[in-house]
A = this chain, B = another copy of it.
């Protein structure tokens, strides 16, 4: 007859694990000798090895319980289940490997490669790092919300940034990161922004935009803009004076709230 530690060592598990299986009802409690010690026979070793084999394959102990008592049909089905789970776990780990590789490679992660390329291009063109960081955060939010549309928007941004006039506007806007609400450059910047928007509007008149962005995301991005630029509220007011509202998605102001709609 075997003691608990002999049993455990034959099956390659710890004594604690054996007692745990007893308490779970997985392995039946054996006879006790006169001093209360558990005494096992060889069949218990076999049982224990079966339990460990399933547990090692990642089957939860509660299922092991059912399986050791299951018929062949049921058992085969369960095995297929376990195999599916193992495959899923392998895939998950492969994805994890890719993700942490990205994470080690650079500032990316949570950002698709096009966006990373765009941020790199901004750096090359001399944009301030603070602005790039803000831009990156915005794109993270966008990627989290509408991952499928990121590359379409990214293409537009890439084109914009390579456009001479627009790039200069962006660069000057970038300087706003540390300006105060009463900065003298603001009115002329507001003029340049409205000029561009109006030009773009004229060009794309009648053109259908892609899928519209949700109000929530626009609000979120606007809020992020306001948080990052101390003078953002002032700029937005200046734009409203010129007939435009919003930032992420600038639209003609309706003079709504004045009692009539146009």
Contact residues of A with B, CB < 8 Å? 1-2, 6, 10-12, 41-43, 45-46, 49-50, 53-54, 56-58, 72, 75-76, 79-80, 82-83, 86-87, 89-90, 92-94, 96-97, 99-101, 103-104, 107, 109-110, 136-138, 140-141, 144-145, 216, 220-221, 223-224, 227
Chain B residues with Cβ below 8 Å from A53 are 96, 99-100, 103, 109-110
B57, A79: Cβ atoms closer than 8 Å? no
B96, A227: Cβ atoms closer than 8 Å? no
Q: How far is it, in angstroms, between the C-alpha of A99 and the C-alpha of B51 when the chains are bound?
A: 12
**Contact partner, A221, options B42, B83, B101, B223, Cβ 8 Å:** B42
Report the minimal beta-carbon distance from A252 to chain B, rounded to whole angstroms.
25
Q: A42-B223, A54-B109 are in contact. Are A144 and B10 (CB under 8 A)?
A: yes
B137, A42: Cβ atoms closer than 8 Å? yes
**Contact partner, A45, options B43, B99, B140, Cβ 8 Å:** B140
Q: How far is it, in angstroms, between the C-alpha of A14 and the C-alpha of B97 when the chains are bound?
A: 23
A103, B50: Cβ atoms closer than 8 Å? yes
The copy count of this chain in the complex is 2
Q: How far is it, in angstroms, between the C-alpha of A227 and the C-alpha of B50 when the chains are bound?
A: 19
**Contact partner, A49, options B45, B80, B104, B110, Cβ 8 Å:** B110
Report the minimal beta-carbon distance from A47 to chain B, rounded to whole angstroms.
9
Chain B residues with Cβ below 8 Å from A12 are 144
Most chain B CB inside 10 Å of its own CB: which residue of A92, A100, A216: A100
A86, B97: Cβ atoms closer than 8 Å? yes
Report the minimal beta-carbon distance from A146 to chain B, rounded to whole angstroms.
12
Q: A56-B96, A101-B79 are in contact. Are A224 and B144 (CB under 8 A)?
A: no
Report the minimal beta-carbon distance from A258 to chain B, rounded to whole angstroms.
27
Q: How far is it, in angstroms, between the C-alpha of A92 and the C-alpha of B83 when the chains are bound?
A: 13
The chain B residue with its CB closest to the CB of A57 is B96
- 7 further A-B contacts with Cβ under 8 Å, apart from A2-B220, A57-B96, A90-B94, are A12-B144, A41-B224, A43-B224, A46-B136, A50-B109, A54-B100, A93-B93
B141, A41: Cβ atoms closer than 8 Å? no
Could you list 17 A-B pairs, sorted by A, with CB under 8 Å? Answer: A2-B223, A10-B145, A10-B216, A11-B144, A41-B224, A42-B220, A42-B224, A42-B227, A45-B140, A46-B137, A49-B110, A53-B96, A53-B110, A54-B103, A54-B109, A86-B97, A89-B89
**Contact partner, A141, options B10, B103, B141, Cβ 8 Å:** B10
Report the minimal beta-carbon distance from A4 to chain B, rounded to whole angstroms.
14
